[in-house]
Structure 1
Amino acid sequence: MKKGIVLLLLAALAVMQYVRTSSEDQNPYLVTDYSRLHPVKVQRVIQGKAEEQLAELVREAKDKGMKISIAGQRHSQGGHTYYKDAIVVDMTSYNKVISVDPKAKRIVAQAGATWEDVQKAINPYGLSVRTMQSLNTFTIGGSISINAHGRDIRSGSLIKSVQSFRLLTADGSIRNVSRTENAELFPLALGGYGLFGIILEVTLALTDDEIYRESTVLMKLEDYRSYFQNTVLKDSDIRLHIARISVAKDSYFTEAFAKNYTIDRSLLLADHSKLKSNEKWVAPGKLMFHLNRYTDWGKNLQWNLQKYFFVEQSDKIISRNNAMRAASAFMENNEPTENDLLQEYFIPVNQFDGFVTRLGAIVKQEDMNLLNITIRYVNKDEEAILSYAKQDMLALVCLFHAPLSKEGQQRMKQGVERIIEEVITYEGSYYLPYIAYPTIGQFRAVYPKQELFFSKKKQYDPDDVFMNFFYEQYGPLGGGI
């Protein structure tokens, strides 16, 4: 194995010259998101700097009939953060951590602060976030706007961690929103994709940082659901969990591995609590993932290396704050005519086996280039109006590689629509931050409260000051893509 890794590194030096690693800067008024689909001209991009500045901007937009879209890191892929001829408010500069209350286990941060900012602020106090996405580069406001979830299997989706937030609404006023104050807005704006106003600052409930032993178990895919229900869920000391399904040709949808993070109370937090920041082996990792995109043997090699590093080198000691952060630089793709695009499906735990069988078959039949599947768990949580966790769900986070051409995107849309039909058959749902491949009918079937959501949007924002392509495609005037 060591010899193979050396050969891989040598191959990296020979091949990396053919991999694009940079692109020209965007025209600041030609805006898109992570998908790089549907770039449009916007009126201007404004950095969020101060509360009154933003309030004045909203009042001006309302008076002049302009549209506003709200952006963080723009990692959503369905046009949620921009709109044609709109003012795009970039909130990444509105990023202060306002206060940390260690005794109450609470933090207040501006919406543009990243999860890394939060972790740096709370780590010295032995505290951790309850729920966050695996990439800590995303903004707090963006994450609660999509009601994100993560590796924690006990705390539910992100809405459960939010105690309150301050919201700049379409009339230019600022409202305190919680479960007791302006309570109707709480489940609308959280998971509301920026359609109810600009989230200014957020109060989050925290939990204790802990020391975990990381362990990985290789198994047949057909055994995973039973293993998860009978081993993982029943062991309260397993705090975090993810799994992966093989998409390699030699073990396609037959193998999986589960990664557990189990609390170890015998170790001192202070000995293991330093936050890690630098990713290791980025260059060979980029090459490996590049081969995974384009060749069957690359997919086989990727899976076999994962098994070696994760399964054979198990029992790692890691703090909760570090365990919740995932490496990502090795997955970056800058090819101008194609991209890696996410889709995510939530399936009731007891329906998992049947759905996965159909998913594997459809991906093969439609010749979809599936690069990776990560499995996560989300507890039932219907608090958000556009909730995706109608039952206790296993989430399948699927990363596809696809051309950005009209023909290539039509093929992707056809495949995803077939998958969504199976999602509906198996009483599941799908995640809304990604490209709008599902039809209007599929959206309405999966999200039956969408009519209430859009009627409340018109109540709080009758002039549609806050606008994005998600609303255009799936709202009252929607026609899909």
Structure 2
Amino acid sequence: MKKWIALLLLAVLCFLNYFQYDTLEQDPYLITDYGRLRPVKVTGVAKGREEDQLRGILQEARDKHLTISIAGQRHSQGGHTYYKDSIVVDMTSYNRVLDFDQQKKKIRIQAGATWKDVQDYVNPYGLAVKTMQSQNIFTIGGSLSVNAHGRDIRNGSLIKSVESFRLLTADDRILNVSRNENADLFGLVIGGYGLFGIILDVTLTLTDNEMYKLAVDNLDVASYSRYFAEYVKTNPDIHLHIARISVAPEHFLTEMYAINYVLDRSVPLKGHDQLKTQEEGVILSKLLFNLNRTFGWGKNVLWNLQKPYFTKQQGTWITRNNAMRSESEFMEYRQAGSNDVLQEYFLPVQEFAGFVDDLRAVLQVENLNLLNITVRYVNHDEEATLSYATDDMFALVCLFNVPLSKEGQDKVRTGIQAVLDRVIQHNGTYYLPYIAYPRLDQFRAAYPRYADFFRKKEQYDPNHLFVNYFYMDYKGE
């Protein structure tokens, strides 16, 4: 008992230290993103509201020889939403539902709306989103720009549920873009990081909201690929799936548990479909996660508490919409001098165990502070020009705590590049919305269609109106 009291007191001290460095008021024209690594002055931030107003912003930029960057919730971490001296177009106010067809299961919605807005709108009609991130806080346009994926193992990357969108281009045209109309732009803009124009609105195909029963399995890394292929993928009633790998020193990258969302037709949706509105247990979870961030034994404590917590959910029910409103507030972090940053690696299913063995070896040498690692499945899909799903892939979403100093960042960069060398050796790719640690040669190895992407950028935007740091970091000479 005394041990747990001491742990709780230590956690409280860490928690108070966390709040000591909460966000400070900042110059409204000094812009950064969730990574907090590259703050720069921009010319201004313009809220997107109407089409004519957006056209006026583009004309102003052309007249003044400025560039345009496009921002939503700014959760990308590598400067994808801004550039020095640019005009940042903030699309979060551009968020209305324009059309909805319950029978055809379609919604047309402006690009600045969030997935929460979609869920709130369609839930009363018994409908749900096909593919989105595990959290619903991101904008639709931002998710298209990164070609998001999530827990759904049947519908692939987000591009598969996009029917069409309208695009405001560098030459002031508004184009309808689909697989049949201006089709060349479809795979360039989705996963194109805002470099081909401003996405105005999107027509998405929806699916039914459903009742799922949770099935939780404990397993190890070595058996996961076989488990997924033989048990999960072959069961048509498993619609969503997520797994988590231990980062605890006692079981470092060896133990796992998986959560399967199994369709349950015996439980009526009506009466169970109220949307979750708040996250529970945030303070305690934040305390425990801060121990996980700070101490090796804290990682052991968190893992040993997580496993029974999730196992207790065995056999409980949840709707599809609520399963896609994952809790994450407890992981928010704003400490001065350090930050939690994401890196994500995509590995062919058959390469999973071998890569995790290599990842373990690299992390032990490089001494990177890995806080969390979850696994999702993404179907093979190369419709996007910069596609990460070059095979049926497991996505390993890795959260690191990193120093923000130059010296600290240099060490992190070296470690991440060592990880990426192993990713490429295992025929994998990595996700582009995050900090630009990868070398240019690693980017080109993971995305062999890069040359076509940047050639098309020159074709559609020869004067480089739309610019961000991702473009400048990886366009090459």
TM-score strictly above 0.5 = yes
Q: Which moved more, 1:19-28 or 1:308-317?
A: 19-28
What do the CA deviations read for 1:194-223 (whole angstroms, capped 9, x no partner)? 000000000000000000001211112211
Q: Say whether 1:463 aligns with 2:463.
A: yes
Counterparts of 1:65-464 in structure 2 under 5 Å? Answer: 65-464=65-464
Query: How many Å apart are 1:64 and its aligned residue?
Result: 2.7
Query: How many Å apart are 1:12 and its aligned residue?
Result: 5.0
Query: How many Å apart are 1:104 and its aligned residue?
Result: 0.6
Matches of 1:78 and 1:387, distance apart in 2: 18
Matches of 1:267 and 1:5, distance apart in 2: 40
Q: Report if the CA contact (8 A) 2:11-2:291 is conserved.
A: no
Query: How many Å apart are 1:4 and its aligned residue?
Result: 8.9
What do the CA deviations read for 1:215-252 (whole angstroms, capped 9, x no partner)? 21111221111111110001010000000110101111
- Amino acid aligned to 1:333: Y
SS of corresponding position for 1:423: helix
Matches of 1:266 and 1:392, distance apart in 2: 32
- Amino acid aligned to 2:48: G
Number of residue pairs aligned between Structure 1 and Structure 2:
476
What do the CA deviations read for 1:417-448 (whole angstroms, capped 9, x no partner)? 11111111111100000011110011111111
Query: How many Å apart are 1:99 and its aligned residue?
Result: 2.0
- Amino acid aligned to 2:468: N
1:134–1:6 distance in 2 versus 1, CA, 3 Å? farther
Matches of 1:103 and 1:8, distance apart in 2: 54
- Amino acid aligned to 2:413: K
Q: Report if the CA contact (8 A) 1:429-1:446 is conserved.
A: yes
SS of corresponding position for 1:270: coil
Q: Report if the CA contact (8 A) 1:100-1:121 is conserved.
A: no
1:446–1:13 distance in 2 versus 1, CA, 3 Å? closer
Q: Report if the CA contact (8 A) 1:454-1:476 is conserved.
A: no
SS of corresponding position for 2:443: helix
User: TM-score, structure 2 length as denominator?
Assistant: 0.97
Query: How many Å apart are 1:7 and its aligned residue?
Result: 7.7
SS of corresponding position for 1:92: coil
Matches of 1:254 and 1:173, distance apart in 2: 53
* Partner of residue 472, structure 1: 472
Matches of 2:236 and 2:317, distance apart in 1: 18
* Partner of residue 16, structure 1: 15
Query: How many Å apart are 1:78 and its aligned residue?
Result: 0.7
Q: Report if the CA contact (8 A) 1:42-1:83 is conserved.
A: yes
Q: Which moved more, 1:62-71 or 1:370-379?
A: 62-71
Query: How many Å apart are 1:272 and its aligned residue?
Result: 1.2
Q: Report if the CA contact (8 A) 1:58-1:171 is conserved.
A: no
- Amino acid aligned to 1:89: V
- Amino acid aligned to 2:108: V
Q: Report if the CA contact (8 A) 2:12-2:287 is conserved.
A: no
SS of corresponding position for 2:92: helix
What do the CA deviations read for 1:441-472 (whole angstroms, capped 9, x no partner)? 11111111010000100100000000000000
What do the CA deviations read for 1:34-55 (whole angstroms, capped 9, x no partner)? 0000100000001111110001
Q: Report if the CA contact (8 A) 2:241-2:261 is conserved.
A: yes
Q: Report if the CA contact (8 A) 2:14-2:290 is conserved.
A: no
What do the CA deviations read for 1:371-406 (whole angstroms, capped 9, x no partner)? 011000000000000000010000100001110111
Query: How many Å apart are 1:62 and its aligned residue?
Result: 2.1
SS of corresponding position for 1:172: coil
1:210–1:8 distance in 2 versus 1, CA, 3 Å? farther
1:44–1:183 distance in 2 versus 1, CA, 3 Å? same
- Amino acid aligned to 1:196: F
CA RMSD of aligned residues (A): 1.5
Q: Which moved more, 1:5-14 or 1:210-219?
A: 5-14
SS of corresponding position for 2:19: coil
Q: Report if the CA contact (8 A) 1:59-1:171 is conserved.
A: no
SS of corresponding position for 1:350: helix
Matches of 1:15 and 1:244, distance apart in 2: 25
- Amino acid aligned to 1:217: D
Q: Report if the CA contact (8 A) 1:56-1:172 is conserved.
A: no
What do the CA deviations read for 1:275-308 (whole angstroms, capped 9, x no partner)? 0020011111111111101101110011111101
Matches of 2:431 and 2:386, distance apart in 1: 10
Q: Report if the CA contact (8 A) 1:74-1:81 is conserved.
A: yes
Matches of 2:366 and 2:452, distance apart in 1: 35
Q: Report if the CA contact (8 A) 2:440-2:476 is conserved.
A: no
- Amino acid aligned to 1:422: R
Unaligned runs of 5+ in 2: none
Matches of 1:242 and 1:123, distance apart in 2: 23
Q: Report if the CA contact (8 A) 1:59-1:170 is conserved.
A: no
- Amino acid aligned to 2:266: S
Matches of 1:179 and 1:8, distance apart in 2: 56
SS of corresponding position for 1:339: strand
Query: How many Å apart are 1:25 and its aligned residue?
Result: 2.1
Matches of 2:64 and 2:30, distance apart in 1: 22
Query: How many Å apart are 1:409 and its aligned residue?
Result: 0.7
Matches of 1:4 and 1:231, distance apart in 2: 41
Matches of 2:241 and 2:123, distance apart in 1: 21
Matches of 1:158 and 1:23, distance apart in 2: 32
1:410–1:274 distance in 2 versus 1, CA, 3 Å? same
Q: Report if the CA contact (8 A) 1:12-1:284 is conserved.
A: no
